[in-house]
Amino acid sequence: MNEGSLEDLLVVDLSRALAGPHAGQMLGDLGARVIKVESPGSGDDTRSWGPPFVDGADGRSYSTYFLSCNRNKESIALDLKSDDGRAVLTGLLERADVLIENFRTGVMDRLGFGTAALAALNPRLVQLSITGFGHDGPEGGRAGYDQIVQGEAGLMSITGPGPEDPQRVGTPIADLLGGIHGVVGVLAALHERERTGRGRVVRTSLLSSIVGVHAFQGTRVTVAGQTPQAQGNHHPSIAPYGLFRCRDGAVQISVGSERLWQAFCAEFGLDPETPGLGTNPERVARRGETIAFVEDAFAVHDAVPLLDRLRAAGIPAGKVRDLTEVYEWDQVRSQGLVVDVEHAALGSISLPGPAIRFFDVDAAGETERARTEHQAPPVLDQHGEAIRAWLASTPVAPSAPVAEEAA
């Protein structure tokens, strides 16, 4: 049995690519048993996404993309258009607590596993459906890929050096947020099920997940009537806040209050009441002047001692690390953000780890309650035989009584 808060739950993951698999991986990290259902022969699309690929002891190449979003899962290959495949999937769904799918609208119905059929098969099942642009509406069912949605949902218009050069975020953030929002919905539905005995259909989309994190950029539109634009590495509402050049490189600072502005100016012998820069609204309105004001002060300093000086003065500051530096950073390691697993073909490999930690608290203090062992992403159909044997030997538990809805 897995360790973790969800160790008594079974998740059937029919999804592929990234949004759904990321949701399944998160639930697996939390202890759920996650069974990934894949197409025979090819498996999840991401098994072929690369380079980079890594050669395994079995002579096959393995996509590092697939490895990023499928830890703590078992794999079974099923042809869902065959009688056998549908029968095995039915057996899994009868026993499952959660189903994850990210097919285009209508595919599950054509396979014979629409929402109503699933609710009849297993009334306690929580069904998570992740689509590109939503399952309904004038563009419901439209295929959604991360970069297309980043553009359609406005994220690219506020990312990059300026309005004429929109940029995608460097990770598939629409997919990842779609998975995260899906998990939030699943956990809420599981909590509600404790009260009602019923599962729920939980729907989210890449579109809604990006719009849902517009934050203050969204209210600039809906309340202030502005249209935000990309402006590089500087904050649209706080100054100075961003990337600033120094003698041998650059540093990042966040002067997020007038108290910090006073402290910053005192540290570098600057006048905080410099005309036009005395308040945050003034500094934002004169961003170019503010940047020049700061960079003039930094021009005689090298980055490493400058960062030490900023931190000593209480000014939030940091450098820009490449990802190799990040995974070698002792702070990242201390947070459990790198995990070592034993892959069936690749042997011992390291993966980015889960972002959440749990602790028990008593009079003696805190004790971390961590999953002690993570499973490597599976090779295709690695657990197929074992899963079929488990289904044959495990009867379907009788459903708990379903509570009546309040009038």
What number is the average pLDDT over the span 372-389? 95
pLDDT at residue number 405: 54
Each residue of 354-372: pLDDT tens digit? 999 888 898 888 988 777 7
Known catalytic residue at 29: no
Is-contact 198 189, C-beta < 8 A? Answer: no
Q: How confident is the model at residue 406 (pLDDT cuts 50, 70, 90)?
A: very low
What number is the average pLDDT over the span 12-23? 97
- pTM assigned to the model: 0.91
Q: How confident is the model at residue 2 (pLDDT cuts 50, 70, 90)?
A: low
pLDDT at residue number 407: 42
pLDDT at residue number 1: 42
Each residue of 142-180: pLDDT tens digit? 988 999 999 999 999 999 999 999 999 999 999 999 999
Q: Which residue has the tokens 């899962």?
A: 73
Among candidate residues 55, 175, 271, 381, the one labeled active-site is 175
Query: Does 57 score more than 50 pLDDT?
Result: yes
pLDDT at residue number 373: 86
CA 322 to chain centre: 20
Is-contact 37 12, C-beta < 8 A? Answer: yes
Each residue of 38-49: pLDDT tens digit? 999 999 999 999
How is residue 64 written in tokens? 């590092």
Calculate the alpha carbon distances from 266 to 21, 242, 270, 297, 305 in Å: 50, 19, 6, 12, 17
Q: How confident is the model at residue 399 (pLDDT cuts 50, 70, 90)?
A: low
Tabulate helix, strand, coil % of the chain (nearest 5).
Answer: 35, 15, 45
Is-contact 169 155, C-beta < 8 A? Answer: yes
Is-contact 127 200, C-beta < 8 A? Answer: yes
How is residue 138 written in tokens? 């004038």
Query: Does 70 score more than 60 pLDDT?
Result: yes
| 299: nearest Cα among 258, 337, 268, 327 | 268
Is-contact 223 66, C-beta < 8 A? Answer: no
CA torsion, ordered 376, 377, 379, 383, to nearest 10 deg: 80
In the chain the domains, ranked by start, together with CATH numbers, are: 10-213+332-393 (3.40.50.10540), 241-318 (3.30.1540.10)
Report the percentage of the chain scoring pLDDT > 70: 97
* Range of weakest confidence among 91-95, 105-109, 185-189, 238-242: 105-109
Each residue of 95-116: pLDDT tens digit? 999 999 999 888 999 999 999 9
Calculate the alpha carbon distances from 119 to 124, 384, 400 in Å: 7, 25, 14
Indicate the average pLDDT of the chain: 94
What number is the average pLDDT over the span 38-61? 95
CA 298 to chain centre: 36
Separation of alpha carbons 9 and 383, rounded Å: 18
3-state secondary structure 67-89: HCCCCCCEEEECCCCCHHHHHHH
pLDDT at residue number 371: 74
Separation of alpha carbons 240 and 260, rounded Å: 10
